[in-house]
Each structure stands twice: as C-alpha cells, then as structure tokens.
C-alpha cells in the first residue's frame, strides 16, 4: 500500500485513568501526558492519514492508530440493530492493548465505507451484541446527568485488563457489514436452507418394457 509521508511530531493519546506512554507512531516519538479536560460534550472525529487513522477531539489530534498493526476489530451492536452506523462501540485489538472507539468517533465509517479493498484483504472485522459484550466500569463515562446511562468512552486499555472479558463475548466473523447483512437476510427467508439449484421437476416415468 502506498502511504503518504507522515510528519513526525508530538501526539497525545488517551488512556483510561492515566496518561499513556506508548508510541503512537510505529517508529515515532513517545506521547506526552494529556491535560485534564472538563468538556462534557467533546466533538470526536476520525480521518485517514496515510496508513493511519487519526483520532481528533474538538479538531485537535489526540491519537493515531497504525492500521497494519490491527489484529481484530469487534463491532458491538444492540441485538436488533441492522445498520452499519448502529454500533454502540468498536473494540480494536492490537498486540499489547485494546482501543475503544465509541460510535461518535465515526470509526465505523472508516471501516465500512472507506478503503474497502484494504479491509477485505485484512479480514479482521467481527461482530457481537451488547447483551453479551460489556465493558468494565473504568471504560465507561456518564452523560450530562447524574442518573444518565453510562456509555463507552474513547481510550486505550492494556490487553491484560480486557483479555478475560473479551473471551466471554459471543463473536461472529470475520465478515464485512455487507456480508453480514446478506447472511442475516438469507437466514430470515423461509426455506433458505433448501438448495434451489436442484432440478425440482418430476422425473419422467419410464415406459413399461414390452414383453
């Protein structure tokens, strides 16, 4: 894959409960501690930059994910969700850590609708639902009200903290959103399990042999 040249400069990555010290570039500088922010409704976005997906908060770059390093992406949806934009969050598995992408980051769009040949060759997209896939409390955030429901928040989590949790999830794949959509459609069609390619016409009766 041809990638545009990356400009090496300092970046800030978000880790749950602490400043992250992992390198954002595969061979780049180490990140610095993130300043505390009290913005209750930040604007998140993601965008491609060469082979990286850049994560922005309020238009400021806060992290960078090198996509060739991705081992697996698990999209977590509500049990009845059908659309590609419906995931509650995505969990990206790297060698040493996981990255949680809430739906508001737009990460799903980077996977489902952009660079599809890359994702198809990588075959790393998996699916599960919110009934079985739950995150620990430190990976969640509250809304603007005290009694509001907690939702996933962006951040990196060491593999050691989530491996046992993810092993309990019922995961299907690998398959793209379009492949999964067609599989679910086929399962919903009556008699879909019957092989319609067979010749269903009655066989011709043999004439009795003349004695």
Contact criterion met (CB below 8 Å) for 52 and 61: no
pTM of whole model > 0.85?
no
The answer to whether position 5 is within a domain reads no
Query: Total structural domains in the chain?
Result: 1
Which DSSP symbol is given to 203?
P
pLDDT at 3: 38
The answer to whether position 204 is within a domain reads no
Beta bridge mates, 76:
89, 128
The answer to whether position 195 is within a domain reads no
Please, which pLDDT band fits residue 68 given cuts at 50, 70 and 90? Answer: very high
Instruction: Report the 10 Å Cβ neighbour count for 57.
Output: 19
- Domain enclosing residue 111, as ranges: 14-34+41-188
The answer to whether position 206 is within a domain reads no
The answer to whether position 137 is within a domain reads yes
The answer to whether position 198 is within a domain reads no
pLDDT digits (tens, 9 = 90+) for 18-31: 444 443 333 333 33
d(CA 72, CA 98): 10
The answer to whether position 64 is within a domain reads yes
Contact criterion met (CB below 8 Å) for 110 and 48: yes
Instruction: Report the 10 Å Cβ neighbour count for 39.
Output: 8
From the number of C-beta atoms within 10 Å of its C-beta (0-12, 13-18, 19+), residue 18 rates as: exposed
pLDDT digits (tens, 9 = 90+) for 77-125: 887 666 555 568 999 999 999 999 999 999 999 999 999 999 999 999 9
The answer to whether position 53 is within a domain reads yes
Average pLDDT over residues 157-176: 94
d(CA 187, CA 59): 43
Least confident of 54-63, 76-85, 92-101, 141-150: 141-150
């Amino acid at each position: 894959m041809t990638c545009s040249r990356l400009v090496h400069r300092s970046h800030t990555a978000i880790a749950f409960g602490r400043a992250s010290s992992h390198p954002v570039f595969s061979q780049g500088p180490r990140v610095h501690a993130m300043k505390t922010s009290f913005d209750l409704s930040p604007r998140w976005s993601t965008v491609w930059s060469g082979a990286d997906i850049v994560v922005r908060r309020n238009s400021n770059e806060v992290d960078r994910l090198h996509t060739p390093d991705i081992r697996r992406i698990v999209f977590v949806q509500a049990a009845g969700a059908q659309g590609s934009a419906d995931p509650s969050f995505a969990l990206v598995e790297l060698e040493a850590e996981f990255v949680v992408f809430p739906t508001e980051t737009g990460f799903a769009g980077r996977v489902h609708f952009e660079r599809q040949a890359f994702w198809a060759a990588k075959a790393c997209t998996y699916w599960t639902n919110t009934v079985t896939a739950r995150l620990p409390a430190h990976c969640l955030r509250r809304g603007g009200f005290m009694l509001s429901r907690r939702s996933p928040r962006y951040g990196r989590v060491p593999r050691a903290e989530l491996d046992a949790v993810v092993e309990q999830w019922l995961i299907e794949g690998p398959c793209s959103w379009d492949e999964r959509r067609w599989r679910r459609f086929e399962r919903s069609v009556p008699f879909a399990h019957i092989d319609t390619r067979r010749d269903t016409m009655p066989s011709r009766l043999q004439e009795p042999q003349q004695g």
